[in-house]
Structure 1
Amino acid sequence: MGVRTWIEGWPVYRQLTGTDPLGRGAAAKSARSETLTARTETADSVARSVCPYCAVGCGQRVYVKNGRVTQIEGDPDSPISRGRLCPKGAASKSLVTGDLRQQKVRYRRTYATEWEDLNLDTAMDMIADRVLAARDETWEDVDDAGRPLHRTMGIASLGGATLDNEENYLIKKLFTAMGALQIENQARI
């Protein structure tokens, strides 16, 4: 490869001597980049979604190929974000496909040093039993003056911003129905 061939292949040379002085078109393309295709072009389907991280509600396009998420990008049709995502939203593919994501229920017993796998039904029953026990032990029917309270101070909820509005709404309804007063959300704090 001669010096002239190397210089002519250099993008800055093409930018300064060609028809693309800003380097946004042909000057920026290499032989390799000409053969590349976007991950979004080969997707089987595109689903519209909302970013799960905060209460802003930025629109996302989720690209799926062979039943697996291949890319998540901002939705340009979203009136909220107009195709833009913050760094967390842009990396939300790892929330779905990350290697470190737990795929099964893990439980560590009191004073144990190792985690064990539980089936989902067992874990849900354990949670329900503990919630009901805490509610029963701390239930306040009336105050000292005899005024009705119908509450428990033994249960609280701190919702996460990775839940959407509908999930947070249902959690709020559930905890209110159980008599809990301390209900808060990360997105509001």
Structure 2
Amino acid sequence: MAITPLDWPVVRQLRTGDYLGRGKSVQSKRTREIEPRTSTADRVVQSVCPYCAVGCGQRVFVKDEKVVQIEGDKDSPISRGRLCPKGAASEQLVNSPSRQKQVLYRAPGASDWRPIDRDEAIDMVADRFMASRAAGWQEHDEQGRRLRRTMGIAALGGATLDNEENYLIKKLFTAAGAIQIENQARV
């Protein structure tokens, strides 16, 4: 079908009375036929944005067990349906083709990363944590006062963790004798 001057957007605006060009007169046929990804979802799951400690509500649209869209949750008293740019782009966090799905390890002096088993990685972290704790342990100070602390480990919590996760990290590091415990939310 040939396009005539009557099909031009400006002419359509004048013909339909859409003088500001905000209505259907400026939409192409393709735009009118686009269907939102949210309408094809099998289910909607309520969630919380993973990026900061604010806790904005999210609606996660799932189709065939794959996240297809994430939007702000209008029922959230915190965000009332709004998301910051990072929260609005969190679907990319889930579906990015460059997302790492395995634990990678680079040995000291090595130039390449290699995949390792998750349990092996956890054991490596635990062994190094305990070795650093022991190497930096201070039982008493110079005056003989009891300290029972370590300067060999420290914790810096991130704003992407929720309050419960930061609470548990604080408890873990305090129990291990660390005194250098901070959270990004306070920095």
TM-score (normalizing by structure 1): 0.89
Query: Kindly tell me: are residues 42 and 139 of structure 1, through their superposed partners in 2, closer, same or farther at Cα, counting changes over 3 Å?
Result: same
Task: State which drifts further: 159-168 or 109-118.
Answer: 159-168
Which of structure 1's runs of 4+ aligned residues deviate more than 6 A?
A: none
| Structure 1 position 19, deviation (Å) | 4.2
Matches within 5 A, 1:115-134: 115-134=113-132
Q: Which runs of 5 or more structure 1 residues have no equivalent in the other structure?
A: none
The residue type equivalent to 2:88 in the other structure is A
Matched, 1:154 2:176: no
The residue type equivalent to 1:130 in the other structure is R
- Judge conservation of contact 2:59–2:72 (CA < 8 Å) in 1: yes
Q: Cα deviation per residue 1:17-36 (whole Å; 9 max; x = unaligned)? A: 32444444433433222222
| Structure 1 position 63, deviation (Å) | 0.8
RMSD: 1.8
Distance in 2 of aligned mates of 1:165 and 1:93: 23
The residue type equivalent to 2:56 in the other structure is C
| Structure 1 position 121, deviation (Å) | 0.7
Distance in 2 of aligned mates of 1:5 and 1:162: 53
Counting matched residue pairs gives: 186
Distance in 2 of aligned mates of 1:100 and 1:2: 43
Q: Cα deviation per residue 1:9-62 (whole Å; 9 max; x = unaligned)? A: x1x433333244444443343322222211011111111111111222211111
Q: Counterpart of 2:179 in 1: which secondary structure?
A: strand
Q: Counterpart of 2:154 in 1: which secondary structure?
A: strand
Distance in 2 of aligned mates of 1:168 and 1:15: 56
Q: Counterpart of 1:40 in 2: which secondary structure?
A: helix
- Judge conservation of contact 2:6–2:12 (CA < 8 Å) in 1: no
Distance in 2 of aligned mates of 1:33 and 1:26: 10
Query: Kindly tell me: are residues 112 and 93 of structure 1, through their superposed partners in 2, closer, same or farther at Cα, counting changes over 3 Å?
Result: same
| Structure 1 position 108, deviation (Å) | 0.7
Q: Counterpart of 1:155 in 2: which secondary structure?
A: coil
Query: Kindly tell me: are residues 32 and 95 of structure 1, through their superposed partners in 2, closer, same or farther at Cα, counting changes over 3 Å?
Result: same
Q: Which runs of 5 or more structure 2 residues have no equivalent in the other structure?
A: none
29, 51, 54: which is aligned to 1:53? 51
Percent sequence identity over aligned pairs: 61
Distance in 1 of aligned mates of 2:18 and 2:3: 24
Q: Counterpart of 2:172 in 1: which secondary structure?
A: helix
Q: Cα deviation per residue 1:150-176 (whole Å; 9 max; x = unaligned)? A: 211110111222222222221111111
The residue type equivalent to 2:90 in the other structure is S
- Judge conservation of contact 2:44–2:59 (CA < 8 Å) in 1: yes
Q: Counterpart of 1:53 in 2: which secondary structure?
A: coil
Matches within 5 A, 1:8-27: 10=9, 12-27=10-25
Distance in 2 of aligned mates of 1:17 and 1:5: 9
TM-score (normalizing by structure 2): 0.90
Matches within 5 A, 1:81-100: 81-100=79-98
